[in-house]
Amino acid sequence: MADRDKRGPEPARKSRGTGRSTKPLDRAEGSETDEERRRRRAQFLRELNEAKELRDRVQPRRARAARMRQQMRMRTFRW
């Protein structure tokens, strides 16, 4: 305990939250509309698909193995 006193107070640690605010959003506060949210989501999904395609081009062996695993999953799937 004496060592801690000599070093001073511990630095505050950042908490790993979800990134979401706990207070409800007010429309007057400048929150986004549904259209803006859909536009941002569509942009995100386009970029995500582009990144996946790039990864598949850069790592063809891994991409082929993933396709084979997916095909095997689909063959063994029971309705």
| 53 within some domain | yes
Distance from C-alpha of 59 to C-alpha of 29, rounded to nearest angstrom:
45
CA atoms within 13 Å, Cβ hemisphere of 40:
6
| 44 within some domain | yes
Q: What is the pLDDT of residues 43-68, one digit of tens each?
A: 999 999 999 999 989 999 999 999 99
67 or 13, which is more confident: 67
**Amino acid identity, position 8:** G
CA atoms within 13 Å, Cβ hemisphere of 22:
1
Q: What is the pLDDT of residues 21-45, one digit of tens each?
A: 555 555 555 677 999 999 999 999 9
Tally of domains within the chain:
1
pLDDT at res. 77: 80
| 61 within some domain | yes
Find, among 49, 22, 25, the residue nearest to 37 by Cα: 25
| 47 within some domain | yes
The model's pTM is 0.46
Range(s) of the domain holding residue 74: 35-79
